Amino acid sequence: MKRRLVYLIVMLFMFTSLGGPHAFAAEEKKAEEKQGTEIVTGVRSAILMERDTGKILYDQNGNEKLPPASMTKIMTMLLIMEAIDKGKLKWDEKIRTSEYAASMGGSQIFLEPGEEMTTKQMLLGIAIGSGNDASVAMAERIGGSEEAFVDMMNAKVKELGLKQTFFKNTTGLPESGHYSSAHDMAVLAKELLKYEDITKFTGMYEAYLRENTDKKFWLVNTNKLVRFYPGVDGLKTGFTAEAKYCLTATAQKDGMRVIAVVFGAPTSKDRNAQVTKMLDYAFSQYQTHPVYKRNQTIGEAKVSKGQDKTVKAVTSEPLSLLTKKGEKTKDVKQKITLEKKLKAPVKKGDRVGTIKLIKDGKVVLESPLVAKSTVQEAGWWTLYKRSFGMFTKAGK
Cite the annotated binding site for substrate by residue number.
236
Angle (deg, nearest 10), helices 182-192 and 73-85 = 20
Give the long-range contacts of residues 366-369, CB within 8 A, separation 24 or more.
367/315, 367/316, 367/317, 367/319, 368/316, 369/298, 369/299, 369/313, 369/314, 369/315, 369/316, 369/336, 369/338
Q: Which of 70, 107, 181, 320 is catalytic?
A: 70
Q: Which of 73, 156, 168, 244 is catalytic?
A: 73
Q: Which of 45, 107, 130, 180 is catalytic?
A: 130
Cβ atoms of 275 and 254 closer than 8 Å: no
Residue 130: active-site member: yes
DSSP code per residue over 347-384: -TT-EEEEEEEEETTEEEEEEEEEESS-BPBPPHHHHH
Cβ atoms of 313 and 338 closer than 8 Å: yes
Binding-site residues sit at 236
What's the CA gap between 116 and 102, in Å, rounded? 11
Q: Determine if the peptide bond prior to 113 is cis (ω within 30°).
A: no
Residue 387: active-site member: no
Task: Give the catalytic positions in this structure.
Answer: 70, 73, 130
